[in-house]
Chain A
Amino acid sequence: MNKDYVLIIPILFPILAGIVACFLGKMHLGQKGQRLYETVCLIVEVCLTFMCFTGNKALDIWKLTTDITISLKVDDLSRIFAGLTVIVWLLVGIYAFEYLEDDPKSNLFFGFYLITEGLIAALSFADNMITFYMFFEMMTLMSVPLVMHDGTHEAIMAGLKYLFYSIAGAFLTLFGIFMLIPYGVLGSFTAGGIMNMEALAGHDLRLMISAICMIIGLGTKAGMFPMHAWLPTAHPEAPAPASAVLSGVITKTGVLGIIRTVYFCIGSRLIAGTWVQNTWIVLSLITVIMGSMMAYREKQLKKRLAYSTVSQVSYIMFGLAVMNGTAFMGAVAHVVFHSLIKTTLFLMSGAVIHKTGHHLVSELKGTGKEMPITMWCYTIVSIALVGIPPLSGFVSKWYIATGALMSGEKPYSWIGPVALLISALLTAGYLLSISIQGFMPGADYDYEHLENKEPSAYMYIPMILMTIATIFLGIVPGGLTRIIDTIANTIF
């Protein structure tokens, strides 16, 4: 029995704080008080989470039956995911202060926001499939109110679509877990797989079907075709901070689930070279191209960014599906980079909506003159997302593509990188055109009536910080890649 009870603190603290926050509105605390309370909670959560990172802490909370236990453990992967989550959460939380300043229900938003954070921290620390699944479902349920926050007909529909797609995906996953119980899928996550080889002998098909179910099921959260449709519906309806974390972090929980399933439960050896791997690769590549193509055609800014997420998260999927160390490194690095980049992009779209009320791409002409800081952040992270060196997106793309090429003579070894590059071209098309018309509104632009619409520091400081992180991690990715490399070495 592992008894590092400290692990439960970063999970329980935000949940309790969130419940309190739901009831403490502006009327009780005043706007300043509310902001102070949220900031303190978010910062404390960052500290608590990082405190848990030292040593390899583990905790068995509860034994349901002899083989179903709820237990937590900290390893390098959970450090990356939990660390990323709490930092993004803190920055987006601060941003949300201004975005929701006129919202009478902001206490509810912050409440569910904190609860979701705790649950994501929990599922990053989860030590077996059941624990992961439990927190995964809880996280889904708790994040639905974030999507529905506006309370309009569209928002509720979008929230429901998100909910049911997620639940359908989760059921597929659960189905996979059930099927694999006899072969020891519920054991503690171990790099390289935990399946009982003797029991498994002769049940290949069963394993394959369960694996593909779990991949597609968890791929729902990650927006992988065919279960991607919730993303472009849910994002435009959710308030900008919610879309930011949905795209930036919550989609990545699906990725974490797949890493845990494929590399820590089933083991990549059992899947490599089978039809499961091929299907997975085909699905991810379809999503990469389809997502960016749809984004290219999309006129509404937030929907465009949502399709972009569909495409970009499948870069990660492709990197994972290739199943070698280099591609794995690129994929996990892209989790971090995409998270920072896409969060910034959604924050930018939120700032534009908040300040000007513009939703359509065509209305953004001259935005760069009105809100230069916001637009600069947008431009830099866009270039990073396209994958232009020396910014961060380039590094992850480099590893994913060279990793794919290392798989030798298989056709996807070159089709994959080509798909990534076509998608990069489309990404440039749908993101950079906004910056260009934002900064270069044309010679006949009315400079006389130019007014500064820059949002307050609450909004632009988080954006600037994430932009700096994007640049910095691109130029000096060494620290991150070394951690991922150690993970990759244990897996392969």
Chain B
Amino acid sequence: MNLMQGNILLLILILWPICTSIIGYILGTRSKTARDIWADAVCLSEFAVMAGLLIRAFGGGDTLYLDIDGVCGLGIHLMADGFRCVYGTVAALMWACAAVFSREYFTQYRNRNRFYMFFLMTFGATMGVFLSADLFTAFIFFEIMSFTSFVWVAHDETEEAMSAAYTYLAVAIIGGLVTLMGLFMLYDMLGTLTLSQIPSEIEKIRNTWPKPYITEYGGAITPSRLYLVGGLTAFGFAVKAGVWPMHIWLPKAHPVAPASSSALLSGILTKSGIFGIIAITCNMFAQDIPWGRTILILGAVTMFTGALLAMFSVNLKRTLACSSMSQIGFIMTGTGMYPILSEIAKEESVMAAHGTVLHMINHSLIKLVLFMAAGVIFMNIHKLDLNEIRGYGRKKPLLKICFAIGALSISGIPFTSGYVSKTLLHEAIALGKEASIISRGMGLTGLLSVIEWVFLISGGMTLSYMLKLFIAIFVEKNTDERLQEEYDSQRPYMRTESVLSIVIPAGIMLLMGLGPNMIMGRTATLCEGFWFAGSGTADQLVIHFYSWESISGALISITIGLFLYVFVIRGTYINEGRILSVFLAEHSLFIRSDNEGRNVYVNMWPKFLDLEELIYRPLLLKILPGILGFVSALISQIMDSFIVIMRRTIHRQKATRVDTGSMDDHLAVVTGRLLDRYIPKKDKTSYIPGLVMREEQGARTQRLISSSLSFGLILVSIGLIMVLIYTLAAT
């Protein structure tokens, strides 16, 4: 029997970072420079191989695959089709940039060896998720990834970091277990977890509906059961992606994690969650409107909540984290539109697919740049509060341009990459709305109109909070002038390798935006295979990105964004035809004057709405363990209490208390005297005290045994009574 079939390269791609992480650790104990170079080399080599695979895929190379039987029971199945190559490459690029950037960032940190080890391990595991061909493999690597990335969040070991890390771990474990339950049920239902085999199995089940499908073992599969299984399986992935209401770990973990890990957490680890959701959606619910609707609604809520929280926050990294959450919402919207479009307007579903994939890639790169820019600020001044870092970016053109590229792109300004993906997503919603008027009732149309507006408003909010960050950091001066001078005079504020690690992804993003159909269109087409496994191939997509129709959506968003920034965040108001208090914020909720008359950003973070403190923590740490613990303690005591009661009643035994003084030690005294007389010790001391002690010890032990023996006898008698009762009953 051949245990391994296919191309071994795929396994090497996963094992290479995992194995080298340990070498890196050992190297690190000798030389820190060697370890840094080693980590860079590993990431870059991995990137080179992945890029090679991607180019091969662009050139129309066949899909690589690898099956290893028996690993963890079901075996591991890997493949590298278009989407997997693209995302593997993105992941490798991000890791390479983050590794290079970490070198300077971590100069003053403790436990760096540990960080690098888990950095590389997580890399391998993440590659495993993105290369997996079945849900089982995806789950295995997903869990490894969750656990190893925990160390990143906790790295600082401060109180906040530990609290965030515990939240991260708890959320990851709970999510993982729920997904596991889903996988149990899915495997039971279909007998396979291989993605390519799921659609046909699901088809079989759907064909028998409305009569429930009966499985081999007599289980009945009704539609509700299918949704339950799908929902459970998707849960863990959604948690990792940061979908509302399981987003709690995102805004907590990012501000405390080191910059390079924040970039990866938000740029790529959340995407592994999205990967799982897409895999489930495309293969199990490819044309299922209720499923799509649920994803869509969750996506919309996530998108809006994230944007709102981002507007409220004054912590740079927390704002970026909330922004990630919001962008995940955008991606989810695309994912949700896919099954809806597949059902009501088949030929347009490709729009949703392209939009989703491109927004994933964009968001990965954008967040890489933005978080590393935040990292540059943090490693220089160790502050993240907007009021404190205000004005830091003035006179630092390189940082300013990179941040601006990211900010513009994420806000969907025309001629950036973000514009392309957001336009596609918007088009998908608009097309879905049109098609739903014809084919479905008003319910779907109404929902889609609402979603469209939420989409546009959230897009506007994205612009407004990015403006808030940009203006605060790069335009305004710090309220403390001496500090501002200090900021301005800081030279150099980052090393060459760190510059490269930020400029390269920013440059790629710029290129992508300038040639939308050439780079992004081709990339998205390459990814189609992953989506259409469940519903056949799609038509070629041609989009005129700069037609009026496409651009109008972006313009609406931009208008909303500017309006929000100027009138809500800045608090500008118009009085008797004159614009008052532009940038002088007496009337804004977001900027207030402090005691000394300086304008400061107000922390509007809604603590009281924190789902974690409000619901999850009390529920999971107090209420449930309290109740369950009480019941368990009761149950656990049943047998012991029964025995104690028996001893006190039937056996009339008093509590076992042994008084040392109360015993007669005649034997010890007598023998001691005899021994003293006939065999005296050399040092003339008496045998008696020692013997007395021994006798008392013996007596005590004996008493213990006899009292316990009686309780054994009780058990025997209970057994005998049972025999008696049975014999009586039987005769």
**Physical interaction between A and B:** yes
Asked if A425 meets B218 with Cβ closer than 8 Å, knowing A160-B704, A293-B629, A405-B185, the reply is no
**Do the beta carbons of A228 and B704 come within 8 Å of each other?**
no
| Stretch of A17-25, A59-67, A161-169, A269-277 at the chain-chain interface | A161-169
User: Does A407 make an interface contact (CB < 8 A)?
Assistant: yes
The residues of A that contact B69 with a CB separation of less than 8 Å are 478
The residues of B that contact A478 with a CB separation of less than 8 Å are 69-70
Residues 700 to 719 of chain B near chain A (Cβ within 8 Å): 700-701, 704-705, 708-709, 711-712, 715-716, 719
**Do the beta carbons of A443 and B173 come within 8 Å of each other?**
no
**Do the beta carbons of A406 and B73 come within 8 Å of each other?**
no
**Do the beta carbons of B635 and A286 come within 8 Å of each other?**
yes
User: Does B579 make an interface contact (CB < 8 A)?
Assistant: no
**Minimal Cβ-Cβ distance residue in B for A225:** B635
User: Does A383 make an interface contact (CB < 8 A)?
Assistant: yes
**How far, in whole Å, are A432 and B165 apart by their CA atoms in the complex?**
12
Report A140 CB to chain B, min CB distance, Å: 12
**How far, in whole Å, are A168 and B709 apart by their CA atoms in the complex?**
11
**Do the beta carbons of B632 and A289 come within 8 Å of each other?**
yes
Report A387 CB to chain B, min CB distance, Å: 8
**How far, in whole Å, are A164 and B706 apart by their CA atoms in the complex?**
12
> Which of B73, B166, B635, B700 meets A395, CB within 8 Å?
B73
User: Does B497 make an interface contact (CB < 8 A)?
Assistant: no
| Stretch of A33-41, A190-198, A416-424 at the chain-chain interface | A416-424
Query: Please, what's the 1-or-0 string for A438-473, where 1 marks a CB less than 8 Å from any CB in chain B?
Result: 001111010100000000000000000000000000
| Stretch of B156-164, B280-288, B530-538, B602-610 at the chain-chain interface | B156-164
> Which of A163, A226, A395 meets B72, CB within 8 Å?
A395
The residues of B that contact A399 with a CB separation of less than 8 Å are 73
> Which of B184, B220, B705, B719 meets A402, CB within 8 Å?
B184
User: Does B144 make an interface contact (CB < 8 A)?
Assistant: yes
**Do the beta carbons of A417 and B625 come within 8 Å of each other?**
no
The residues of A that contact B180 with a CB separation of less than 8 Å are 387, 401, 421
Residues 26 to 51 of chain B near chain A (Cβ within 8 Å): none
**How far, in whole Å, are A398 and B158 apart by their CA atoms in the complex?**
37
**Do the beta carbons of B70 and A477 come within 8 Å of each other?**
yes
User: Does A294 make an interface contact (CB < 8 A)?
Assistant: yes
User: Does B722 make an interface contact (CB < 8 A)?
Assistant: yes
Query: Please, what's the 1-or-0 string for A388-431, where 1 marks a CB less than 8 Å from any CB in chain B?
Result: 11100011001101100111110001100110010011001000
- Please report whether the interface of chain A is mostly helix, strand, loop or mixed according to DSSP: helix
User: Does B177 make an interface contact (CB < 8 A)?
Assistant: yes
**Do the beta carbons of A206 and B730 come within 8 Å of each other?**
yes
**Minimal Cβ-Cβ distance residue in B for A226:** B639
User: Does B343 make an interface contact (CB < 8 A)?
Assistant: no
Report B578 CB to chain A, min CB distance, Å: 53
**How far, in whole Å, are A417 and B73 apart by their CA atoms in the complex?**
17
Interface size in chain B (residues, C-beta < 8 A): 64
**How far, in whole Å, are A424 and B636 apart by their CA atoms in the complex?**
19
The residues of A that contact B514 with a CB separation of less than 8 Å are none
User: Does B217 make an interface contact (CB < 8 A)?
Assistant: yes
The residues of B that contact A487 with a CB separation of less than 8 Å are none
User: Does A156 make an interface contact (CB < 8 A)?
Assistant: yes
User: Does A337 make an interface contact (CB < 8 A)?
Assistant: no
**Do the beta carbons of A157 and B173 come within 8 Å of each other?**
no
Report A417 CB to chain B, min CB distance, Å: 5
**Do the beta carbons of B730 and A383 come within 8 Å of each other?**
no
**How far, in whole Å, are A474 and B176 apart by their CA atoms in the complex?**
18
> Which of B174, B636, B722 meets A228, CB within 8 Å?
B636
**How far, in whole Å, are A491 and B709 apart by their CA atoms in the complex?**
40
> Which of B165, B219, B220, B704 meets A153, CB within 8 Å?
B704
Report B293 CB to chain A, min CB distance, Å: 26
**Do the beta carbons of A293 and B628 come within 8 Å of each other?**
yes
**Minimal Cβ-Cβ distance residue in B for A206:** B730
**Minimal Cβ-Cβ distance residue in A for B74:** A398
**How far, in whole Å, are A411 and B217 apart by their CA atoms in the complex?**
14
**How far, in whole Å, are A206 and B725 apart by their CA atoms in the complex?**
12
**Do the beta carbons of A164 and B719 come within 8 Å of each other?**
no
**Minimal Cβ-Cβ distance residue in B for A292:** B632
**Do the beta carbons of B625 and A293 come within 8 Å of each other?**
yes
**How far, in whole Å, are A389 and B148 apart by their CA atoms in the complex?**
12
The residues of A that contact B165 with a CB separation of less than 8 Å are 436, 440
What is the interface of chain A, defined by CB distance below 8 A to chain B? Answer: 153, 156-157, 160-161, 163-164, 167-168, 171-172, 175, 179, 205-206, 209, 213, 225-229, 286, 289-290, 293-294, 296-297, 383, 386-390, 394-395, 398-399, 401-402, 405-409, 413-414, 417-418, 421, 424-425, 428, 432, 436, 440-443, 445, 447, 474-478, 481
Interface CB pairs A-B, < 8 A, 20: A156-B705, A157-B704, A167-B715, A168-B712, A175-B719, A228-B636, A229-B637, A293-B629, A390-B72, A405-B217, A408-B218, A409-B220, A421-B177, A421-B180, A425-B177, A432-B169, A436-B166, A442-B158, A445-B157, A474-B72
A209-B726, A213-B722 are known; give 16 further A-B pairs, CB within 8 A.
A168-B719, A171-B716, A171-B719, A175-B722, A206-B726, A226-B638, A227-B639, A229-B640, A290-B635, A296-B625, A297-B633, A409-B218, A409-B219, A421-B181, A442-B162, A443-B156
